[in-house]
Amino acid sequence: MTDVFKHQFRFTQADVIAFARVSGDDNPLHLDADFAASTPFKRPIIHGMLGASVFTKVLGTQWPGAGSVYLKQTLEFLRPMFVDTDYEAVFKVISVNADKHIAEISTEIFDLQTNKITTKGVATALNKEKF
């Protein structure tokens, strides 16, 4: 596998509503435009953990993909994320323990319009075939 992987994605308000339902996090900051207008964010923001779910998607299904077992993830929610906005998740291998088949991977999300980072962290995953 390559040392770097990039994946573009976006979420809709329907995704945010679905995530609110399944997680139980119905904080009006994510769902209520009038409420959000009264906050420093001015408009509804995506749940940080919904944005970060792109990491489990990519690691579990694309890169390295099948067979991955998620061991750890750190997350820093640096800037708000919004619906109907193009983002890119960037993954870089930091280190691989070939004996244990475990890799540390930096995980970052960039807003493609501003090029600013919104979320960063480090994933640790096991994959017996790829690491």
Residue ranges in contact with its own copies by CB under 8 A: 9, 15, 18-19, 21-29, 47-50, 52-57, 60-61, 66, 68, 70-77
The residue among 71 and 94 lying less far from its own copies, judged by its C-beta, is: 71
CB of 17 to its own copies, least distance (A): 9
Partnered with residue 93 across adjacent β-strands are: 105
Sign of CA dihedral 33, 12, 51, 17: positive
What distance lies between CA 79 and its chain's CA centroid?
Answer: 13
The residue among 25 and 111 lying less far from its own copies, judged by its C-beta, is: 25
Is there a contact between 5 and 11 (Cβ–Cβ < 8 Å)? no
CB of 38 to its own copies, least distance (A): 11
- In the chain the first and final C-alpha atoms are separated, in Å, by 9
Q: Which two tokens stand for residue 67?
A: 């067979």
CB of 117 to its own copies, least distance (A): 14
